Each structure stands twice: as C-alpha cells, then as structure tokens.
C-alpha cells in the first residue's frame, strides 16, 4: 500500500517542482529541464530461479543546461549504467512480495549514473514495481 501511495504522490510532487516547471514550454523552457528515461525492466532472481521483474522509470535532474545537453547525448550509456545498477539491486534487495526500498534504489542509481557523468544532480524515480 505504501508503494502505491508513493507512486501516486510522486507525479503531484514533480508537477510542483520548479525544475519541471522550467523545463516545459514558456519562458525559460528547453535544455535545462528534467531528462526522462524509458522504463527499465530487470529480472529478480533468487538462487538460480527467475522469480519476478523489477520495473522502474527514471527522470534525471541535471546540474545545469550544459549538463542537460551532455546527458541527452549520453542516453545509451546512462541507460546501460541504470540497467546494470538495477540488476544488482534486484539480485540483492528485491522480492516480489515486499515493497521496493526506493531510497536504496535511488542511492545505487545515483552512484552508477554519476560514474557515467557527474552532471546528474538527482535521480528521480517516477514509477517502480516488483512483480512475479
């Protein structure tokens, strides 16, 4: 239930974010805004059995407009780093019957994505689910 409440509340919080507001059309919109990534799905494995899937969708908040431009050009490398970190997280910390520890997932993703480009200021998870 906590996971559902979080996934319903996050879009509302993001809509009120000044960064998102500046990334839309209008006054300063464009290159300095949030960078959405496609949904990532990784397997949840227990011992040697596939027991489920972890799915998550990210939005990256860059440090500045120059970082946003750089990050947009590295989308494939950022996605690979997020998939690798998600695989490791799912292998060690996720079961389909328990809520996903979103704070721990954000931490491992931020570490991995900073390794690709330190222009990532924040990783925002806008959707997460662990299913059988």
Q: Which tens digit of pLDDT belongs to each residue from 50-105?
A: 999 999 999 999 999 999 999 999 999 999 999 999 999 999 999 999 999 999 99
* 8 vs 20: CA distance, rounded Å: 17
pLDDT of 101 reads 97
Count of Cβ atoms closer than 10 Å to residue 122 Cβ: 14
Predicted local confidence at residue 47, as pLDDT = 87
Residue 3 has pLDDT above 90, yes or no: no
Q: What is the pLDDT of residues 94-125, one digit of tens each?
A: 999 999 999 999 999 999 999 999 999 999 99
pLDDT > 50? residue 38: yes
Q: Nearest-CA neighbor of 59 among 35, 24, 33, 86? A: 35
pLDDT on residue 1: 44
CB 35 within 8 A of CB 59: yes
**Residue 43's pLDDT is what?**
97
| CB-based contact 14:21 (threshold 8 Å) | no
């Amino acid at each position: 239930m906590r996971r559902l409440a979080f996934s319903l509340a996050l879009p509302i919080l993001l809509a009120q974010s000044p960064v998102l507001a500046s990334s839309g059309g209008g006054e300063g919109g464009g290159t300095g805004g949030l960078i959405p990534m496609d949904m990532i799905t990784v397997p949840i494995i227990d011992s040697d059995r596939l027991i489920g899937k972890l799915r998550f969708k990210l939005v990256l908040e860059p440090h500045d407009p120059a970082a946003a431009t750089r990050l947009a050009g590295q989308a494939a490398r950022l996605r690979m780093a997020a998939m690798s970190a998600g695989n490791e997280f799912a292998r060690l910390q996720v079961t389909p019957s328990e809520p996903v520890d979103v704070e721990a997932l954000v931490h491992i993703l931020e570490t991995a994505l900073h390794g690709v480009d330190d222009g990532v200021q924040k990783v925002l998870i806008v959707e997460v689910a662990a299913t059988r």
